[in-house]
Amino acid sequence: MRQVLIFSIWALILTLLISYFGEVSLAFSFACVTVFASVGHLISLDDDFKGGWGNPEGDRSIVLKSILELVAKIAFSVLTWWVVLSFPSVNQYGI
């Protein structure tokens, strides 16, 4: 639970910074953060495979959980981008 809270705070700060310094909408900034989260998980996915840093014992449930989390992050990112691109009205709000 603590990890989710830390990630949520990080995502909020990053969204606000991208919106402010990039002079783009908050929705676009948040969509960019969802891509960063998905790509970061994809890059570190091998750590959860057998013998990796996050799974030295080779537990298959850890691998399955990590892959499901990655699929959920990608699906959320696709949904977020669909909303941002399909509904231009959400792009009028920014810092």
CB 15 within 8 A of CB 29: yes
For the cut 80, the answer to whether the pLDDT of residue 94 exceeds it is: no
d(CA 80, CA 76): 6
pLDDT tens for residues 14-29?
999 999 998 999 999 9
Cβ 33 vs Cβ 13: under 8 Å: no
Provide the pLDDT for residue 1.
63
Q: Is 11 exposed, middle or buried (0-12, 13-18, 19+ CB in 10 A)?
A: middle
- Residue 15 has a CB neighbour count (10 Å cut-off) of 20
How many domains does the chain divide into? 1
For residue 70, the enclosing domain spans 2-92
